[in-house]
Amino acid sequence: FLEKKKVLSMCKSAVAPAADGGLNLTSTFLRKDQCETRTLLLRPAGPPGCYSYTSPHWSSTHEVSVAETDYETYALLYTEGVRGPGRDFHMATLYSRTQTPRAEVKEKFTTFAKSLGFTEEGIVFLPKTETCMEERA
């Protein structure tokens, strides 16, 4: 991630409830000059706010938990690999309704990430972008 961050920018995600009580998380981002869309189907994994997904590509299972949210403007998520080749995977993510989260929310995220063991260099706020951000019809 630290290698790739130079070419990354923010991406847009849409979250919708899925029939099984999970979430359909669809993200759109720029890759090789094209807008790509990827859908993660998060299955409910017990406690409220906890989900899991299995990557068809890597056959790794990841657990995703919503650590904190105000239900309006932001959510802090933690993703970790629990089975398969991606077992060492750890990621904390800030989801924001806009590309300009309040300073207070960014601080919350930094504190959250540090509490999980991420260092200053591992915490990145990607640049804003207009690419691939338009609403889909």
Site for ligand NAG, rule CB under 6 A: 14, 16, 18, 24, 26, 39, 41
Residue 42 · residue 22 · CB < 8 Å? yes
Burial environment of residue 103 by CB neighbours within 10 A (0 to 12, 13 to 18, 19 or more): exposed
Closest CB to ligand NAG among 39 and 69?
39
The span from the CA of 28 to the CA of 49, in Å, is 23
In this structure, are residues 52 and 82 in contact, taking their beta carbons and an 8 Å threshold?
A: yes
Considering the complex, state which of residue 5 and residue 97 has its C-beta at the smaller distance from ligand NAG.
97
- Min dist CB 102 to ligand NAG, Å, is 27
In whole angstroms, the minimum distance from the beta carbon of 101 to ligand NAG comes to 23
To ligand NAG, the closest distance from the beta carbon of 21 in angstroms equals 13
How many angstroms separate the CA atoms of 54 and 52, rounded? Answer: 7
Closer to ligand NAG at the Cβ: 16 or 103?
16
Beta strands in 18-60 (DSSP E): 23-31, 34-44, 50-54
Nearer to ligand NAG, 18 or 133 (CB): 18
11 part of the active site: yes
Residue type (1 letter), 28: T
* Least distance to ligand NAG, CB of residue 41, Å: 6
Residues designated as active site? 11
